[in-house]
A and B are shown apart, each in its own frame.
Chain A
């Protein structure tokens, strides 16, 4: 029968092989390998400039890689045609860092937008579905408000409702706790765990918040300067003997190693 059923792992939903990406001449991702199994929550961690946001943009198909392969739900993103990408996108939900809600639309219209554009459901059905998702994220009763009337945590929850309105198989969450107070960010963590439990989604969360990462992750991938330092369970990462990971966990400032000549050349602008 299905060989995957015999293996200890559930099916693979994201497979990234040897991903390389550049911004201009600068190499921001260098040989990234990543694998996500169905129903798993993976947290991508790293400091600013580690390449975690760039990795997310590539996973979302917003940037094209220089080299390497990204396969989402069995679709190779480099080779997929317009129709295949379209089908794939209906199975992905994304909650952006700032929410990226449309300011000219109410909360309900924002959540309904994917339904309106991809389905031919009637208005009342769409409204009910939007309200159901708003209830899931504890935003029931706010559907008539405009995004500008919401607090930061509320914006993120509405963005999450919009991300899950099509019942996607894959959910991406960019910096869920950025700019939120600890209580609200803890609530969001709970929400992410509940979504996985209730809807059996596979979830990728990009964050630099340690507490949040340790609370929700099944596995953590630590990036540094465009490379994967380590991928492992929460315990494995906690007890990692990698110095950079320990720096990150202990919030120690990085020790910059630099050659004296190189430093001098840079100061004088002759680098």
Chain B
């Protein structure tokens, strides 16, 4: 009766399970991609269907995803800047090249830590919340209710979240860059004979637009990853409150994993 039943144990069974897992994986990626296209379609063509994406809904999402994340992100990235300065000075002392710490912090913060910390934080804070929200709406039939009312759930729920992510993750990344650099500047000024002003001047001289751009490109990719992972897991919820919990955990773990892997790939291709 059950179609999912495997034919047996041993090598045959293992191969079959691997095959099924692969098919499921491809299915999930395909689903996420289709979801992205359809959501973008609603953003662009919603007006023609008399179902526009409401600016008020986007603004509300931007508040929770972006503005409310500012304090915690500032603390995190400032600490990262301080941490990089401590490690940098400690390591470079061996070569007597402590003053080069400015270069290290400037590049690693804008290219790596700014976007990465922002991505991980937003995935944990807002990605999980989005999964929980959509999952709860799914099990309480609110998604069904939207559909029978003729309100497309992608347009109504997903599009505002995607737009808000696309704006706020890069914006938060810029903040993260600034706070990280400031953290590095403050520690370096205290530890070495270099004023904060001089530190920031040197940073400005070292940094090129390309470095910042690399971070921002990554942050846009992270925004898409976080939204898609959150939404696909939210819509896939079944099995009551426990299911929502499971989906939320899965969404956070998966999006952080995708963010780190995507970050590595981008670093590889963009650092040439």
Chain A, 8-50, CB within 8 A of any chain B CB:
24-26
A-B pairs with lowest CB-CB distance, top 3: A89-B150, A100-B145, A100-B141
Q: Which residue of the partner chain B has the closest CB to A89? A: B150
Q: Which residues in B have some Cβ–Cβ distance to A below 8 Å? A: 1-4, 49-51, 136-137, 140-142, 144-145, 147-151, 156
- Assess whether B2 is in contact with A89, with CB atoms less than 8 Å apart: no
B249 to chain A, nearest CB (A): 22
- Assess whether A97 is in contact with B141, with CB atoms less than 8 Å apart: yes
B136 to chain A, nearest CB (A): 8
- Assess whether B148 is in contact with A94, with CB atoms less than 8 Å apart: yes
Stretch binding the partner chain, chosen from A111-119, A131-139, A197-205, A221-229: A111-119
Q: Give the complex CA separation of A89 and B147 in angstroms.
A: 9
Q: Which residues of A contact B148 (CB under 8 A)?
A: 60-62, 89, 92, 94
Q: Size range of the interface on A? A: 20 to 34
The one of B3, B50, B144 in contact with A60, judged by C-beta atoms closer than 8 angstroms, is B144
B37 to chain A, nearest CB (A): 16
- Assess whether A271 is in contact with B1, with CB atoms less than 8 Å apart: yes
Q: Is A102 interfacial (CB 8 A cutoff)?
A: yes
Q: Which residues of A contact B2 (CB under 8 A)?
A: 24-25
Q: Which residues in A have some Cβ–Cβ distance to B below 8 Å? A: 24-26, 57, 60-62, 82-83, 85-86, 89-90, 92, 94, 96-98, 100-103, 113-114, 117-118, 271
Q: Give the complex CA separation of A53 and B265 in angstroms.
A: 47
Q: Give the complex CA separation of A113 and B142 in angstroms.
A: 12
- Assess whether A25 is in contact with B1, with CB atoms less than 8 Å apart: yes
- Assess whether B149 is in contact with A117, with CB atoms less than 8 Å apart: yes
- Assess whether B145 is in contact with A94, with CB atoms less than 8 Å apart: yes
B5 to chain A, nearest CB (A): 10
Q: Give the complex CA separation of A166 and B51 in angstroms.
A: 17
The one of A25, A83, A100 in contact with B144, judged by C-beta atoms closer than 8 angstroms, is A100
- Assess whether A25 is in contact with B141, with CB atoms less than 8 Å apart: no
**17 extra interchain contacts, Cβ-Cβ under 8 A, other than A57-B144, A89-B150, A100-B140?**
A24-B2, A60-B148, A61-B147, A62-B144, A62-B148, A86-B150, A90-B150, A92-B148, A94-B145, A96-B141, A101-B142, A102-B142, A102-B145, A103-B136, A113-B151, A117-B151, A118-B50
- Assess whether A86 is in contact with B49, with CB atoms less than 8 Å apart: yes
Q: Give the complex CA separation of A60 and B141 in angstroms.
A: 13
User: Contacts A25-B2, A89-B150, A271-B1; is A117 near B144 (CB within 8 Å)?
Assistant: no
Q: Which residues of A contact B140 (CB under 8 A)?
A: 98, 100
The one of A90, A103, A117 in contact with B51, judged by C-beta atoms closer than 8 angstroms, is A117
Q: Which residues of B contact A25 (CB under 8 A)?
A: 1-3
- Assess whether B142 is in contact with A100, with CB atoms less than 8 Å apart: yes
The one of A61, A90, A98, A117 in contact with B141, judged by C-beta atoms closer than 8 angstroms, is A98
Q: Give the complex CA separation of A62 and B156 in angstroms.
A: 17
Q: Which of B3, B49, B151 has most A Cβ within 10 Å?
A: B151
Q: Give the complex CA separation of A60 and B150 in angstroms.
A: 11
Q: List 28 A-B contacts (CB under 8 A).
A: A24-B2, A25-B1, A25-B3, A60-B144, A60-B147, A61-B147, A62-B144, A62-B147, A82-B49, A86-B150, A89-B148, A89-B149, A90-B150, A94-B145, A94-B148, A96-B144, A96-B145, A100-B142, A100-B145, A101-B142, A102-B137, A102-B142, A102-B145, A113-B151, A117-B149, A117-B150, A118-B50, A118-B150
Q: Give the complex CA separation of A61 and B142 in angstroms.
A: 15
Q: Give the complex CA separation of A57 and B143 in angstroms.
A: 13
A215 to chain B, nearest CB (A): 25
User: Contacts A62-B144, A96-B144, A97-B141; is A24 near B149 (CB within 8 Å)?
Assistant: no
Q: Give the complex CA separation of A126 and B147 in angstroms.
A: 21
Q: Which residues of B contact A114 (CB under 8 A)?
A: 149-151
Q: Give the complex CA separation of A117 and B53 in angstroms.
A: 10
User: Contacts A86-B49, A90-B150, A117-B149; is A26 near B141 (CB within 8 Å)?
Assistant: no
Q: Give the complex CA separation of A97 and B144 in angstroms.
A: 11
Q: Give the complex CA separation of A113 and B149 in angstroms.
A: 9
Q: Give the complex CA separation of A168 and B156 in angstroms.
A: 22
A271 to chain B, nearest CB (A): 7
Q: Give the complex CA separation of A114 and B51 in angstroms.
A: 11
Q: Give the complex CA separation of A83 and B51 in angstroms.
A: 11
Q: Give the complex CA separation of A114 and B1 in angstroms.
A: 42
Q: Which residues of A contact B149 (CB under 8 A)?
A: 89, 94, 113-114, 117
Q: Give the complex CA separation of A57 and B144 in angstroms.
A: 9
Q: Which residues of A contact B147 (CB under 8 A)?
A: 60-62
Q: Give the complex CA separation of A44 and B60 in angstroms.
A: 42
Q: Which residues of A contact B144 (CB under 8 A)?
A: 57, 60, 62, 96, 100
Q: Which residues of A contact B136 (CB under 8 A)?
A: 103
Q: Which of B2, B140, B147, B149 has most A Cβ within 10 Å?
A: B149
User: Contacts A98-B140, A117-B51, A118-B150; is A26 near B1 (CB within 8 Å)?
Assistant: yes
